[in-house]
């Protein structure tokens, strides 16, 4: 990845997203707090518009993480093809060559991408059943993550059963895993973007980039705080991604019934499931914005 201009840099894009989120939060506050009850339809329209633009900002943030994963997918496929063309086995030594581009991608996309790497399909390597070439970055320092991949040892990390690996490996499409606790790996709550890497019809592994839930919360909490009432950003799977609400903590599931459901069982675009609690959802991404006006 080449360094972009200041205008298109990661820092600039994040600053723009943060500013836009703050504007949306103020619009939501005005719509709900200052609109007379008889114009409730107008409130619903404003909230839908706000949540749609909030969705675009969330997509923009996710896109940056996917860019990292996409470039890593290209590196992984290149190393695999080189081994095949040379008529030799594909081994973990081939993946060691990815260390430099992984670290560079993390540096280029700091502070958003907090970890990146590849996780190979079982037995695709001649010398390993499972293997992850993975680096994390914290405070400007990159460290290689070395989880326990020996099933006979304590804290064995079978990443093939993790949501970030199992679902994209099954569907063979890019995947954004919802907040999940990466036990045995990073041992923290993560959002992970993955891209299956195929050689012909065979998946050789996943290229991945991840962001801690703490980092995501840092990005969106200022916008939630601008509401001046308790609020939270909720994922499609009803996990709290970021929150200023004392009873909705980041990384936890939302209590049943709070978000509101349509008759078909899908989240409504705009609802008040509990008196004084407003929920707005984007039809594009299904992330929801909850504001508690009680």
Compute the distance between CA of residue 260 and CA of residue 238 in angstroms, rounded to an integer: 11
Q: Confirm if 76 and 131 have CB atoms less than 8 A apart.
A: no
With bands split at pLDDT 50, 70 and 90, how would you rate the model's confidence at 147? Answer: very high
Distance of CA 201 to the CA centre of its chain: 27
Do you know the residue count of the chain? 294
Residue with tokens 């993946």: 95
**Is residue 278 in a domain?**
no
Q: Determine the pLDDT at residue 251.
A: 76
Q: Does residue 133 fall inside a structural domain?
A: yes
Q: Is 77 contained in some domain?
A: yes
Total domains in the chain come to 1
126: containing domain = 61-214
Contact in structure between 244 and 222 (CB atoms under 8 Å) = no
pTM reported for the whole predicted model: 0.69
| Residue 274 confidence (pLDDT) above 70 | yes
Half-sphere exposure at residue 169, Cβ-oriented, CA atoms within 13 angstroms: 17
Give residue 207's pLDDT.
92
Asked whether residue 231 is domain-assigned, the answer is no
Confidence of residue 1 (pLDDT cuts 50, 70, 90): very low
Which runs of consecutive H residues, i.e. helices, occur in the chain? 10-34, 40-85, 92-96, 99-108, 163-171, 213-225
Q: Across the chain, what does the average pLDDT equal? A: 76
Asked whether residue 284 is domain-assigned, the answer is no
DSSP 167-229: HHHHH-S-EEEEEEE-TTTT-SEEEEEEEEEEETTEEEEEEEEEEEHHHHHHHHHHHHHTTSS
**Residues 69 and 193 sit within 8 Å (Cβ to Cβ):** yes
Q: Which pLDDT score, from 0 to 100, does residue 4 have?
A: 43
Q: Are 184 and 148 in contact (CB under 8 A)?
A: yes
How far is 173 from 168, CA to CA, in rounded Å? 6
CATH number at residue 206: 3.30.450.20
> Average pLDDT of 104-112?
81
Complete edge-to-edge strand list for the sheet that includes strand 141-145: 141-145, 132-138, 115-120, 202-212, 189-199, 175-181
């Amino acid at each position: 990845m080449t360094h972009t201009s200041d205008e298109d840099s990661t820092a600039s894009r994040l600053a723009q997203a943060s500013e836009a989120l703050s504007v949306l939060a103020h619009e939501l506050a005005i719509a709900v707090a200052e609109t007379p009850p008889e114009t409730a339809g107008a409130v619903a329209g404003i909230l839908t518009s706000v949540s749609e633009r909030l969705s675009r900002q969330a997509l923009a943030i996710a896109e940056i993480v996917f860019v990292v994963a996409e470039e890593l997918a290209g590196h992984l496929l290149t190393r695999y093809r080189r081994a095949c063309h040379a008529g030799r086995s594909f081994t973990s030594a081939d993946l060691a060559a990815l260390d430099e581009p992984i670290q560079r991608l993390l540096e280029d996309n700091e502070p958003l991408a907090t970890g990146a790497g590849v996780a190979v399909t079982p037995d695709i390597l001649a010398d390993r059943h499972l293997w992850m070439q993975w680096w994390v970055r914290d405070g400007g320092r990159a460290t290689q993550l070395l989880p326990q991949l020996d099933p006979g040892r304590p804290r064995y990390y079978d990443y093939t059963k993790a949501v970030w690996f199992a679902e994209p490996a099954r569907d063979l499409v890019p995947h954004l895993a919802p907040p999940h606790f990466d036990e045995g790996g990073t041992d923290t709550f993560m959002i992970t973007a993955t891209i299956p890497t195929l050689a012909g019809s065979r998946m050789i592994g996943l290229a991945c980039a991840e962001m801690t839930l703490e980092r995501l919360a840092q990005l969106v909490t200022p916008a939630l705080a601008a509401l001046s009432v308790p609020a939270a950003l909720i994922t499609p799977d009803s996990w709290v991604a970021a929150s200023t609400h004392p009873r909705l903590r980041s990384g936890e599931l939302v209590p049943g019934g709070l978000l509101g459901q349509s008759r078909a069982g899908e989240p409504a675009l705009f609802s008040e499931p509990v008196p004084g609690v407003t929920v707005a959802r984007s039809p594009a991404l299904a992330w929801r914005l909850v504001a508690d006006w009680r």
